[in-house]
């Protein structure tokens, strides 16, 4: 932080967020306001990120969502708009699989294109970056407001107007990989990381029967990110040892919320859960 006299000072204490953050939704258990060291001058306004994952856009099915396979996407986009998101983060498994047909991809593409804000997509284990991925076949890589890690950008998407960079390793095939390998050096005031995989706490990390796409406390801390947007779990949860605010958003279907992440002008990171809006 830079105080009023312009002197750098270090603030390490976490203070409970007694104000409930910037929304009406239920607070996430263990919610904290993180005081993060800052070197640069204050930003004039807050940056609002909305984080969701595991939308699993699928072929239309009469038994679910009134027959609209893009219902979860529609709902998350409407919620992000209602929350006045500056950027929407989708942390993997946006699509159920890479075999989806043209009609559903066209509809998903139209919904994304109609969004009035940038969308950053991290491909997950259901929708990895293959030559014939949904992102390419659906033309999603041509939408000006959509950035797809591993497709339109290799590992990082810059947002110079916000002095923000968002990085993450896309799933590029169906095999195992380490989602948080090689943390990216910070080059902007704000840095947000994304990962699609399975958090393993220290007490079970040695278990040889481990799931794929694992990361733990050390990998999370090594990102030194202002926020880590996680996907793969349908349940919303904060994970890690507190060094970095690392949250699963959970799926819209199960959580019925998105994570709202406010990067404040004062340098705080405030995370709340917000209910899905009525669809429009
Ligand atoms: Mn997954």
How remote is the CA of residue 171 from the centroid of ligand 1, in Å? 10
Using the mean position of ligand 1's atoms as its centre, give its distance from the Cα of residue 123 in Å: 9
Separation of 102 CA from ligand 1 center, angstroms? 22
pLDDT for residue 64: 73
- Cα(271) to centroid of ligand 1, in Å? 22
Residue-wise burial string across 223-250, b where 16 or more C-beta atoms lie within 10 A, e elsewhere: bbbbbbbbbbbbebbbbbeeebbbbbbb
pLDDT (mean) for 227-243: 97
pLDDT tens per residue across span 116-167: 999 999 999 999 999 999 999 999 999 999 999 999 999 999 999 999 999 9
Task: Give 15 or 25, the one with higher predicted confidence.
Answer: 25
User: Rounded to two decimals, what is the model's pTM?
Assistant: 0.84
Q: How far is the CA of 161 from the centre of ligand 1 (A)?
A: 31
Residue 17 alpha carbon to ligand 1 centre in Å: 31
pLDDT tens figures, 29-46:
555 555 554 445 544 689
pLDDT at 51: 98
Of 269, 275, 270, 204, nearest in space to 236 by CA: 275
The whole-number pLDDT of residue 2 equals: 38
User: Does residue 9 have a pLDDT over 50?
Assistant: no
Q: Compute, in angstroms, the gap from residue 1 CA to the centroid of ligand 1.
A: 37
**Mean pLDDT over all residues of the chain?**
87
pLDDT tens digits, one per residue of 66-98: 789 999 999 999 999 999 999 999 999 999 999
What domains lie within the chain, and their CATH numbers?
Answer: 32-275 (3.60.21.10)
User: From the CA of 216, how far away is ligand 1's center (Å)?
Assistant: 17
Residue 81 CA to ligand 1 center (angstroms) comes to 25
Q: Can you tell me the mean pLDDT for 105-112?
A: 98
């Amino acid at each position: 932080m830079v105080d009023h006299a312009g002197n750098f000072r270090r603030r390490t204490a976490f203070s409970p967020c007694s104000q409930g953050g910037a929304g009406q939704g239920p607070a996430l258990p263990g919610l904290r306001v993180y005081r993060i060291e800052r070197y640069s001058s204050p930003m004039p306004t807050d940056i609002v990120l909305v984080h969701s994952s595991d939308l699993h856009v699928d072929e239309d099915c009469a038994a679910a969502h009134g027959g609209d396979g893009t219902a979860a996407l529609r709902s998350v986009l409407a919620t992000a708009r209602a929350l006045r998101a500056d950027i929407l983060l989708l942390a993997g498994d946006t699509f159920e699989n890479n075999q989806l047909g043209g009609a559903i991809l066209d509809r998903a593409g139209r919904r994304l294109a109609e969004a009035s804000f940038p969308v950053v997509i991290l491909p997950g284990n259901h929708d990895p970056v293959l030559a014939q991925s949904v992102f390419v076949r659906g033309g999603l890589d041509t939408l000006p407001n959509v950035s797809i890690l591993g497709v339109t950008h290799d590992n990082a998407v810059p947002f110079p107007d916000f002095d923000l960079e968002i990085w993450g390793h896309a799933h590029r095939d169906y095999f195992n990989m380490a989602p948080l390998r090689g943390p990216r050096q910070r080059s902007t005031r704000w840095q947000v990381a994304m990962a699609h995989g399975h958090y393993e706490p220290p007490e079970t990390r040695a278990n040889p029967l481990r799931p794929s796409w694992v990361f733990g406390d050390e990998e999370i801390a090594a990102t030194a990110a202002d926020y880590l947007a996680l996907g793969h779990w349908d349940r919303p949860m904060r994970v890690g040892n507190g060094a970095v605010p690392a949250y699963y958003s959970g799926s819209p279907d199960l959580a019925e919320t998105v994570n709202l992440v406010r990067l404040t002008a004062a340098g705080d990171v405030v995370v709340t859960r917000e209910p899905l809006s009525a669809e429009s």
